[in-house]
Amino acid sequence: VFFADAMCSLSKVFFDWGMLATMLYHYPNSIPESLSSIALPSVLSSLPYVVRARQCIVSFNAGKLKQDPKRHSHLLNAIKYSTSLFPICLSAYQKTLSQEHVHDFDILFVMLLVINSIYSFLWDIFMDWGMAQDLHLAFSSPCAMKDDNLKRGLLRQRLRFGVLLSAIIIFGDLCLRFSWTLRFYHASLFSSFDSFVLLTQFLEVFRRAIWNLLRVEWEIIKTSPPPGKGKENFSDKTVEFAPLVPQIRNVKMEMSPVSTRLQTGK
């Protein structure tokens, strides 16, 4: 799952591989402006999202068999990855249009990208990072604890990277989710379209890197008990730093009589 998520950030790389194969196929002629010439690059760029959506559907079906009450979250996750496919398909179709009609679907294209970006960002916040689980706590708490409860309500109680850095990562993820808006200003901001594409790919790799920080942190917090057991728990009134390693319980090893005799030489 983690590997498939990383592959989604490399969708443009898969597209370039498909385009390279198409160029080699038509060499020495130029690539014709037809749907078939853009089919392979588009299919390859969609592949990571299809694989990830399939994983979610498999998890949903497994949850149905186990009567998991949270199984529907896998279906919603599959829908999230599916929203990435519509802009890819529309972009592929636009490449087959003439210059007179190439901008006819720009509004629809932007709408699809906005839906995907907002959906993905909200999923990052609530599901992948476990943030904002107690929103009512942030706005319905006594004034004496308001500042701390605001942090707990909007973020979460256990934060390995602290409030400030976590907030910076969230804000950075939001901005980078909408880095595609630069495509409408690439003529004035970049010397060439290739420079724009290269920069957006670097931005996406950086976004995935900071996304991984909070994703791994939340996964460890979910699978390990709160440290201190009685001193720190999820009902505490302060934002705590969470360790990035699970707590190892002391286990008393009992030796068998045979092992005892071998160790003592008796």
In 3D, which of 194, 172, 171, 174 has the Cα closest to residue 183? 194
* Residue found by looking up tokens 């995907």 in the block: 116
CB distance 156 to 130 below 8 Å: yes
Q: Residue 100: its pLDDT value, please?
A: 78
Walk along the chain (266 residues) in steps of 10 and give the mean pLDDT of each run. Answer: 86 90 85 78 94 94 90 94 93 81 86 96 94 72 57 80 92 95 85 87 93 92 70 44 48 46 49
Q: Whole-model pTM above 0.85? A: no
Q: Which DSSP category does 34 fall into?
A: S
Give the per-residue pLDDT at 253: 43
Q: Hey, where are the domains in the chain?
A: 1-118, 129-246
Distant-in-sequence, close-in-space partners of 231: CB < 8 Å, separation ≥ 6: none
State the DSSP string of 145-195: GHHHHHHHHHS-SB-TTHHHHHHHHHHHHHHHHTGGGGGGGHHHH-SSHHH
- pLDDT per position as a tens digit, 194-248: 888 889 999 999 999 999 999 999 999 888 776 665 444 444 444 455 444 444 4
Peptide bond into 28 cis (omega under 30): yes
Q: Which of 167, 172, 127 shows the shortest CA–CA distance to 150? A: 167
Gap between the Cα atoms of 46 and 3, Å rounded? 15
Extract the tokens encoding 263: 């160790």
Residue 234 token pair: 């999820």
